[in-house]
A and B are shown apart, each in its own frame.
Chain A
Amino acid sequence: MKQRIRIGCAAGFSGDRLEPALLLTQHGQLDYLVLECLAERTIALAQKRKRHDPTQGYDPLLERRLEGLLPLLLANNVRLITNMGAANPLAAAEKIAAIARRLGLSVTIAVLTGDDVFDQLSGDETALETGQPLCASGPLLSANAYLGTDAILPALATDAQIIITGRVADPSLFVAPLVYAFGWPLTDWDRLGQATVVGHLMECAGQLTGGYFADPIRKDIPDMAHLGHPFVDVTADGMAVFGKVAGTGGKLSLATAKEQLLYEVMDPGQYITPDVVTDFTQVRLLETGPDQISATGGRGNSRPDTLKVSVGYDGGFIGEGEISYAGSNALGRAELAGSIIQERLQDQFSDLRIDYIGSTSVHRTNFNQPPAPYEIRLRVAGRATTAQQAALVGEEVEALYTNGPAGGGGARKYVHEVVGIVSTLLDRSQINPQITLIDA
């Protein structure tokens, strides 16, 4: 058994930078590389792509990420664990196999499926967010259960160099290789709790190493253009030490680690994943060197009997329009424009939003600070059931050119398709994870 496992994380969302994975794989001396690319809504969007084309539905950047990465993974003997399979992990594996063949490489890919439970839902299940049946939110598009470590372990027990999944709980991407390496029982809740703390700190990649942290002067982070992504060394006792590749930008400090530890956590005493209910409240972080942090004290209680299922539904369309005003009385002219749009569209849109970018658009208030901005951008958004109706919003804003206040410029209009997300719970016994091996 290895005494120490090193896991790197080089993507914290689908659109994350490509080169940290190359750097970590080449210079990080990793055992495992994790790429976490699947946000709540990403999988529903992927499901839509799969419906249009059954060979699609995996991460849109898969090919670009793997093209350069695959040879490095194999040369450095690093196993990749990633949820880039999204709505179609089997097709993702076939794509990776095709890339390997093209590059003259031999690789085994383990594919985890079984998270797609769309056919198992009737639509009458209660949505946790609304208390109403799922189908009341809109036409259902997708349903994916959050699988956990127990589902990933059989993939690790194969010879596969690549493990590709659809929906799994983000921390489980890290918990699974630790459990596999150290043989921790799946009922050792404190170990699993500590491993979940490790996974949670790692899963957003650059957010641990100074990304999404900087505020000039007060919270300076060096060389953010080359922000390095983190790795973690874990030993069999659960001790975790976080670091990053020497020479990369960014910073790993107590402050960056604290922000990430609490990121997106609801009750810090009960962080629920398929593996364990983790208690973050006794976690201790220590600075153990330059750009080096240790974490201990994660604990846990027994895992939930149910798994969370993320359900995507068709939420119609959103139409948007924007136009800018600058100079004297910019806000006054923008507000006049907003009131004109309000009057013209309020009867056709039950849900219409008017924002003044530069004043109150993002915080929805300016805490009564003097609003005298030099320039303001009016932004209008409305919800609609058809794309055609949604387009009205932008058309009306654009018409402010010749019909609105003086000096409006830079009008833009957009229409987006909306995929909403609600969630429900499903008993574990109803979910059957499977591993498929694909060779190239």
Chain B
Amino acid sequence: MSIKLYDIAHSRAGDKGNTLTLSLIPYDPADYPLLRDRVTAEVVQTHLQTIVTGPVTRYELPNLPALHFVCQQALTGGVTTSLTMDTHGKSLSYALLELYIDA
């Protein structure tokens, strides 16, 4: 069975220069092991390949629980000089949530 991240988790995007940060927080903490196993840095790198050109690093926060992704070279130069409309990449939390994983 394939499920969409949007259906089991929420996310907020943040920016630092040309780096995009994406939290991934399960609505139900019981889904955290599934997210940890399926939503690896590599999976996110592939999913966001048209957006993120640098490396993706994943951090695990089992206490919350949540995953946190730091994506480099993701904001076409950064908030101040980018030609894109969403220069902060604020909308990209919902790009992550478009990912389908096997459950």
Q: Is the CB of B12 within 8 A of A363?
A: no
Give the number of residues in A that approach B within 8 Å (Cβ atoms).
50
The digit string for A357-389, where 1 denotes a CB below 8 A from any CB of B, is: 100011111010000000000010111000000
The distance from the CB of B2 to the nearest CB of chain A, in whole angstroms, is 14
Task: Please tell me which one of the listed residues A129, A262, A297, A351 contacts residue B12 in the complex, with CB atoms under 8 A apart.
Answer: A262
Bound-state CA distance A41–B79 (Å) is 9
Closest 3 CB pairs of A and B: A264-B14, A262-B23, A353-B83
Q: A260-B12, A367-B98 are in contact. Are A40 and B79 (CB under 8 A)?
A: yes
Task: Please tell me which one of the listed residues A258, A269, A420 contacts residue B23 in the complex, with CB atoms under 8 A apart.
Answer: A258
Bound-state CA distance A259–B80 (Å) is 24
The digit string for B55-98, where 1 denotes a CB below 8 A from any CB of A, is: 00101010110101010000000111101111000011011001
Q: Is the CB of B17 within 8 A of A129?
A: yes
* Chain A residues at the B interface, C-beta cutoff of 8 Å: 40-41, 129, 212-213, 215, 218-219, 255, 258-269, 280-285, 297, 315, 318, 351-353, 355, 357, 361-365, 367, 379, 381-383, 418-421, 423
Bound-state CA distance A207–B66 (Å) is 18
The distance from the CB of A414 to the nearest CB of chain B, in whole angstroms, is 12
Give the number of residues in B that approach A within 8 Å (Cβ atoms).
36
Which residues of B sit under 8 angstroms from A281, Cβ to Cβ? 59, 61, 63
Which residues of A sit under 8 angstroms from B66, Cβ to Cβ? 258, 262
Task: Please tell me which one of the listed residues A41, A255, A383, A421 contacts residue B25 in the complex, with CB atoms under 8 A apart.
Answer: A255
Closest to B69 in A: A262
Task: Please tell me which one of the listed residues A269, A285, A361, A423 contacts residue B85 in the complex, with CB atoms under 8 A apart.
Answer: A361
The distance from the CB of B73 to the nearest CB of chain A, in whole angstroms, is 10
Which residues of B sit under 8 angstroms from A362, Cβ to Cβ? 84-86, 91
24 A–B contact pairs at CB < 8 A? A40-B79, A215-B10, A259-B11, A262-B12, A262-B14, A262-B61, A263-B23, A264-B15, A264-B21, A265-B21, A265-B68, A267-B57, A267-B59, A281-B61, A355-B84, A355-B85, A363-B51, A363-B92, A382-B83, A418-B80, A420-B80, A420-B81, A421-B79, A423-B17
